[in-house]
Amino acid sequence: MTVSHDRPYKLFHLWLVLASLVGFAIHLVFRSGIFGYIVDNDPTRLSLLISVLFVAGTLHCGWLCLKLSREAAALMRLYGEGGSVFIRGIGANDVGESRACGYLRALHDRLAATGAGPAAEYAQLTDVLAEQVRGQHEAGWFVTNMLVKLGLLGTVIGFILMLGSVMSIESFAIEDAQSMLGSMTVGMGVALNTTMLGLVSSMLLGMQYLLADRGADRLIADVVFIAEAELVPGLAGGARGI
């Protein structure tokens, strides 16, 4: 196994491609007037809230992918272009704000002080690294699930509007029937449009956060590989340390 980040900004570039495709699809929806029709015929404004949350979640995911790409770039600078041994040690300037390099620095200091032992002895450091790398992804998945729930909320509200129009009718005159059908149409539109918008937004945003999760897993795997294959054996065998 070798470090997989031969192109450290590949994750961010993949997100840019995905976001560009989503943006082009949104542009077509705007140009066709579909989005304007949905918002104009939604008295609850849930469709607008879903759209705002989707855009905010997309930008948040892009920021996470950029951070992970910077972490991968810092790790590659530390690991060296050779891809098999440490080219140079970790100094204070090398660590910087990189959590991956900070993990290796903390692991080196701990092993240098206590001696290289089983992996279980520094498993807590690995758990901390995983929490730091993936902790903010939970907010994105919360928003993704929230989009579905908002769509279902729109379904419930739409049916309430439909039933309210039926209950408010006092006679079966043609004018009252036409008014009832108009109110039922509004309620049905709210139910269907918000449900569709919530489901589609949730799926598109989930794809982006899945990409970010895979990038975080790859980064953690690379850091653990460097620690297990280079750092721990080097200290245990008395080789040149960091």
Residues 74 and 72: their CA atoms lie apart, in Å, by: 5
For residue 43, pLDDT over 70 is answered with yes
For residue 129, pLDDT over 80 is answered with no
For residue 151, pLDDT over 70 is answered with yes
Mind listing the pLDDT tens digit for each residue in 184-216? 777 787 888 899 999 999 999 999 999 999 998
Mind listing the pLDDT tens digit for each residue in 227-240? 776 666 665 555 44
Give residue 128's pLDDT: 75
Which two tokens mark 14? 């993949």
For residue 90, pLDDT over 60 is answered with no
Comparison of pLDDT for 175 and 108, the residue scoring more: 108
